[in-house]
Chains A and B, each alone.
Chain A
Amino acid sequence: MKVSYYPGCSLEGSARDYRESVEGVCKRLGIELVELEDWNCCGATAAHSLRHRASIELPGRNLVLAENAGNDLVAPCPMCFNRLKAAEKSLLKAPTGQYRYNIEGKIKIWDLADFMARQEVLELIQPNVTNPLEGIKAVCYYGCMTSRPPKITDAENCENPMSMDLILEGLGAEAIDWPYKTDCCGASHVIDRPDMVFKMVGRLYQRALEVGANCIVVSCQMCQANLDIYQDRIGQQLGREFYLPVIYFTELVGLAMKERQVATWLSRHFVDPLKLLGDQGLLG
């Protein structure tokens, strides 16, 4: 299986753990990720907040690159995915000449979690699960951008996505249903309004614990950073101590397949997942 791959800017920096686990797991499964040649930033929230035209043309350029490459396009970052989809919808309906780029709409843009939750990929994973994840009680936290708005994302069930839940069940982990799957973490406000993000993330922790989770599983590096990096400080503000490792679903796929590099990926987190996984006997 061969697809075009758009890692996005944060996977080149702070989300190195996500990138390594995505690439490690796909390699193991025989999914060939061909990085788009000379891709550019999608513009993220900054572009759609301040420069509507650029918010279509920045991802638009990447879509042209992807159409030229010819394969379907996979984006691990939900923000990039959302912007690519927004550009796709706009460019396809815009009259010629309105934007700098034209596309034909001949390739499919995939959110990585949706891509991997297809039967076809689940069947690739299944025979490799030599370390079933018993004892992992996870809430899957999808965040906003792979779901909303469904007119852009084409999400099947934007209020109750299931891709990571399905993948986790196949790994032998328990995926606990909870109502905050797609609630917002505050995203980039962590830089300019950390007070808002701390409040929003604190609610997520409390609900995750109420439903009996021992970790939170994510597919978004923005969510991962907001839930992982500041857990101590949010705990201090709420007057309680949290221990909720925030793990990428790809890291769990790797763990269940006993990928050798898993401990390296996980050691890049702030809230140490190795303690939880060791206690559950999953590191042996």
Chain B
Amino acid sequence: MENAQPGHIKVDLSFSDLAQTSASLNVNSCFQCRKCTNGCPVTFAMDIYPDQVIRLVLLGQKERVLKCSTIWVCSACETCTTRCPNEVDIAGTMDALKEMAVKEGIEIPQPKTYAFHKAFLDDVKKRGRMFEGKMMQSYLLNSGELFRKVADGSIKEEISLGWNMFKRGRLPLLPKGIKAKKEVKEILR
């Protein structure tokens, strides 16, 4: 776990407002009780804790929060947002930061997670609904996972999973599109 270094940061109080463009995230109400972090089920995989993300936003440490793994590791279970005594929407803030990191072209520390979200939305954009088979194909290709799995032999597990789903009637081969494809495309443009 990384420690903040007092005395070496330049505080920017305007960032917390910028980070809250799209929703009422209430970041400024945080009094650092750390209830969010204590209830979080995925701190074991985070590089900084949820309360630290909020604190860094308040201090205007834009680069550090946009580059951290935590915002991508968050599983959006909403436990933090539910339990916060000051109604800070911590999970929503993680989302706003992800969106900002992508817009600003930050190198994403969890590229597979981003690749999954992107493959999902690209698929919805095509047909108006998500088709699991196609979405997984483009995820495996775009994330580089296909090549890694072929190289280390773990592609066998993917093939076996696909076959087992198919055998059980749970892997349709043809997608269903909707009539209002254009409208959905417009939403996701």
Contacts and interface: CB of A to CB of B under 8 A. Distances in A.
Contact of B78 (A38, A144, A269): A144
A270 B82 contact: no
Given A52-B99, A144-B77, A189-B75, A196 B42 contact: yes
A13 B134 CA distance: 12
Contacts of A162: none
Interface string A225-261: 0000100000000000000000000000000000000
Interface stretch (A54-62, A66-74, A116-124, A170-178): A54-62
Interface residues of B, number: 57
Contacts of A193: 45, 73, 110, 112-113
A133 B42 CA distance: 36
A267 B187 contact: no
Interface in B111-135: 112-118, 120-121, 124, 128-133
A196 B72 CA distance: 12
Chain B at the A interface: SS class = helix
Nearest to A148: B78
A199 interface: yes
Contacts of A44: 120, 130
Nearest to B44: A199
A108 interface: no
For the side of the interface on A, what is the size category?
Answer: 35 or more
B98 A49 contact: yes
A2 interface: no
A51 B188 contact: yes
B139 A9 contact: no
B79 interface: yes
Given A41-B128, A43-B121, A46-B117, A149 B82 contact: yes
Contacts of B139: 191
Interface of B: 22-23, 41-42, 44-45, 73, 75-79, 81-82, 89, 91, 95-96, 98-99, 102, 110, 112-118, 120-121, 124, 128-133, 136, 139, 143, 161, 164-165, 168-172, 176, 178-180, 183-184, 187-188
13 contacts: A12-B129, A15-B170, A40-B128, A43-B124, A45-B120, A46-B117, A46-B118, A49-B76, A50-B117, A54-B121, A149-B78, A149-B89, A193-B113
Given A13-B133, A45-B76, 7 more contacts: A9-B131, A148-B81, A186-B75, A187-B75, A187-B77, A193-B110, A199-B44
The 10 nearest A-B residue pairs measured at CB: A46-B120, A184-B77, A148-B78, A192-B112, A46-B117, A9-B130, A52-B22, A144-B77, A268-B168, A40-B128
